[in-house]
């Protein structure tokens, strides 16, 4: 202890930390997996992989991430500081700030590394195919807890990954955020490669598909882009809803999907909603998706949530959680498995750092905001539907690129209500509105707040929409 401040460092944790993972370790692994997926292998391996956990100040909530050199620390702070801070606050809210520091004996940076075009600090490392799979080893079939809500999706996923032949193709898995779609994608990819070690697997989000396709057009390399994807033995596409309204991307996506299926290769696609509910997606794509097997993942029921908590606790050695607390969490945290896992990590972290026993009053204190949010079962999809109906526009306009006032203002209203009525983060809200940046959501929220004060009609609209959504 240092005054009233408790500081935990890597040296303080010593050998115990290496043998018994702490909630900080678990959260860091989750964040690293997300960064690797979002930033690409080359950027992650060169700049972010070397980062290690440093000291954590319990009072301020500030965590040190340690880089091997001052140059790397400065670069990561400049390019990823905000993203790292947001990721930690989302996964383990006890961490309220992140500081990037350098080890005292780190290597001196090479002057060549100042060049912007060099994506990684080790210029001699072999460049990796950006389409090469980089699956999270934690997300396997044997760690996927099965219940009535997800048994069809899990069975179909295992069959497609391991069977010599399948009677369906593609496999379309849909369900709300945090229900296990990404877990199944990673499990499929790893099981397929175990069965066919020489197989070619390509895994990407629909958003990344769009970005790489546009880049290929600009670089006059559409042939290379098409060849890389269409030669895959297994193609995994996550969150297909993000190509809604993107006509040229949908055209390329359809031909890619068609060629994969026609050639007898395997295709898995995920979405947050069923094909018939995907506004802004070309009918021929929806028709092709419906040819295969459509499997939904419903919200986990009480029994499944209990089993998931038990499994997660088994991966947090040293955390003693009485059965009444487990049952309390299973009853109260109903929105998503991801939120449930984050809550367990947060409880374990607070208990470890305060020395308090885990009981129901302690959990209510630690999870006060989360428990309040779970009392409001309003989704962004419901908000988009209600606002679109109120302003008599197509729901697809919520994710479109159109900036005309008659669609832009309702879209801003929907973003504002999403911020007010759901626990979603700004980046999450932006992604649900056509992959927009979080700064766009901030602008929308401030704009509507300003207009409500001056426009009584708009204020009345928002009050009515809020009553309808909450009722």
Which CATH number do you get for residue 460? 1.10.1750.10
Residue 385 lies inside a defined structural domain of this protein: yes
Same domain, 56 and 188: no
What's the half-sphere exposure (Cβ side, CA atoms, 13 Å) at 359? 3
Of 254, 273, 297, at which residue does a domain stop?
Answer: 297
In the structure, what pLDDT confidence band is assigned to residue 317 with cuts at 50, 70 and 90? low
Same domain, 31 and 99: yes
Mean pLDDT of 388-393: 93
Residue-averaged pLDDT of the chain: 83
- The pLDDT value recorded for residue 129 is 47
In the structure, what pLDDT confidence band is assigned to residue 86 with cuts at 50, 70 and 90? confident
Spatial separation of the C-alpha atoms in residues 300 and 214, rounded to whole Å: 38
Which CATH number do you get for residue 201? 3.40.50.300
User: Does the pLDDT of residue 144 top 90, yes or no?
Assistant: yes
Same domain, 272 and 316: no
Residue 66 bridge partners (DSSP): 52, 101
- The total number of structural domains in the chain stands at 4
User: Does the pLDDT of residue 459 top 70, yes or no?
Assistant: yes
Residue 71 lies inside a defined structural domain of this protein: yes
- The pLDDT value recorded for residue 210 is 92
Same domain, 336 and 292: no
Which CATH number do you get for residue 101? 3.30.300.180
- The pLDDT value recorded for residue 412 is 95
User: Does the pLDDT of residue 471 top 80, yes or no?
Assistant: no
Same domain, 182 and 231: yes
Same domain, 449 and 405: yes
* Structure-model confidence comparison of residues 436 and 17, the more confident one: 436
Of 324, 350, 374, at which residue does a domain stop?
Answer: 374
Same domain, 154 and 101: no
CA 159 to chain CA centroid, Å, is 25
User: Does the pLDDT of residue 420 top 90, yes or no?
Assistant: no
Same domain, 240 and 276: yes
Spatial separation of the C-alpha atoms in residues 188 and 196, rounded to whole Å: 12
| pLDDT tens, residue by residue, 241-277 | 988 888 899 999 999 999 999 999 999 999 988 888 8
Residue 35 lies inside a defined structural domain of this protein: yes
Which burial class, exposed, middle or buried, applies to 470 when counting CB atoms under 10 A from its CB (0-12, 13-18, 19+)? exposed
Spatial separation of the C-alpha atoms in residues 265 and 262, rounded to whole Å: 8
Give percent of the chain with pLDDT exceeding 90: 35
Q: Lowest mean pLDDT: which of 62-71, 203-212, 223-232, 444-453?
A: 62-71
Same domain, 164 and 285: yes
Tokens of 2: 């240092």
Tokens of 331: 């009853």
Output Rg (C-alpha) for the chain, integer angstroms. Answer: 23
| pLDDT tens, residue by residue, 283-311 | 999 988 888 999 999 888 888 999 999 98
Q: Lowest mean pLDDT: which of 121-130, 140-149, 230-239?
A: 121-130
User: Does the pLDDT of residue 370 top 70, yes or no?
Assistant: yes
User: Does the pLDDT of residue 16 top 50, yes or no?
Assistant: no
Q: Which helix (H) or strand (E) covers residue 89, if one does?
A: helix 70-91
Segments in 219-314 forming alpha helices (H): 222-230, 247-262, 283-291, 302-314
Same domain, 292 and 315: no
| pLDDT tens, residue by residue, 96-132 | 889 999 875 444 333 222 222 223 333 333 344 444 5
- The pLDDT value recorded for residue 342 is 83
Same domain, 37 and 22: yes
Residue 2 lies inside a defined structural domain of this protein: no
- The pLDDT value recorded for residue 117 is 29
| pLDDT tens, residue by residue, 27-70 | 898 898 888 887 777 778 778 888 999 888 776 788 999 988 77
- The pLDDT value recorded for residue 132 is 56
Contact 190, 135 (CB under 8 A): yes
Same domain, 75 and 168: no
- The pLDDT value recorded for residue 470 is 66
Residue 195 lies inside a defined structural domain of this protein: yes
Residue 323 lies inside a defined structural domain of this protein: yes
Of 347, 374, 401, at which residue does a domain stop?
Answer: 374
Residue 269 lies inside a defined structural domain of this protein: yes
Residue 163 lies inside a defined structural domain of this protein: yes
* Enclosing domain of residue 202: 141-297
Spatial separation of the C-alpha atoms in residues 174 and 341, rounded to whole Å: 20
- The pLDDT value recorded for residue 21 is 58
């Amino acid at each position: 202890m240092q005054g009233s401040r408790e500081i935990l460092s890597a040296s303080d944790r010593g050998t115990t930390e290496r043998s018994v993972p702490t909630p900080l370790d678990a959260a860091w692994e989750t964040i690293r997996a997300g960064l690797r997926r979002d930033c690409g292998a080359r950027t992650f391996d060169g700049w972010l992989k070397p980062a290690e956990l440093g000291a954590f100040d319990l009072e301020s909530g500030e965590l040190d991430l340690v880089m091997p050199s001052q140059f790397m620390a400065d670069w990561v702070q400049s390019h990823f500081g905000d993203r790292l801070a947001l990721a930690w606050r989302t996964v383990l809210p006890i961490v309220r700030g992140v500081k990037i520091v350098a080890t005292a004996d780190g290597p001196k940076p090479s002057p060549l590394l100042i060049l912007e075009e060099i994506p990684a600090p080790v210029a001699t490392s072999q460049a990796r195919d950006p389409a090469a799979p980089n699956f999270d080893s934690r997300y396997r079939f044997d760690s996927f807890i099965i219940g009535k809500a997800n048994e069809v999706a899990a069975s179909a996923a295992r069959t497609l990954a391991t069977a010599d032949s399948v009677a369906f193709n593609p496999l379309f898995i849909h369900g709300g955020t945090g229900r296990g779609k990404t877990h199944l994608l990673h499990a499929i990819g790893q099981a397929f490669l175990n069965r066919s070690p020489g197989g070619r697997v390509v895994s990407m989000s629909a958003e990344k598909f769009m970005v790489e396709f546009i880049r290929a057009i600009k670089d006059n390399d559409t042939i290379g882009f098409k060849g890389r994807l269409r030669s895959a033995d297994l193609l995994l596409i996550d969150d297909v809803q993000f190509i809604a309204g993107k006509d040229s991307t949908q055209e390329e996506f359809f031909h890619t999907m068609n060629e994969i299926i026609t050639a007898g290769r395997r295709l898995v696609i995920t979405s947050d909603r069923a094909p018939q509910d995907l506004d802004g997606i070309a009918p021929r794509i929806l028709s092709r998706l419906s040819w295969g097997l459509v499997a939904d993942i419903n919200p986990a029921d009480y029994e499944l949530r209990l089993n998931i908590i038990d499994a997660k606790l088994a991966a947090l050695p040293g955390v003693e959680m009485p059965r009444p607390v487990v049952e309390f969490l299973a009853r109260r945290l109903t929105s998503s498995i991801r939120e449930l896992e984050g809550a367990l990590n947060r409880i374990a972290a607070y208990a470890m750092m305060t020395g308090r026993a885990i009981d129901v009053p302690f959990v209510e204190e630690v999870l006060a905001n989360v428990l309040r949010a779970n009392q409001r079962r309003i989704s962004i999809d419901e908000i988009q539907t209600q606002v679109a109906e109120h302003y008599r526009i197509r729901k697809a306009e919520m994710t479109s690129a159109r900036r005309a006032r008659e669609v832009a203002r309702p879209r801003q209203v929907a973003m504002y209500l999403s911020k007010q009525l759901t626990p979603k983060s700004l980046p999450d809200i932006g992604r649900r509105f056509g992959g927009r940046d979080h700064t766009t959501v901030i602008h929308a929220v401030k704009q509507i707040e300003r207009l409500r004060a001056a426009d009584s009609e708009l204020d009345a609209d928002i009050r009515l929409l809020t009553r309808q959504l909450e009722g």
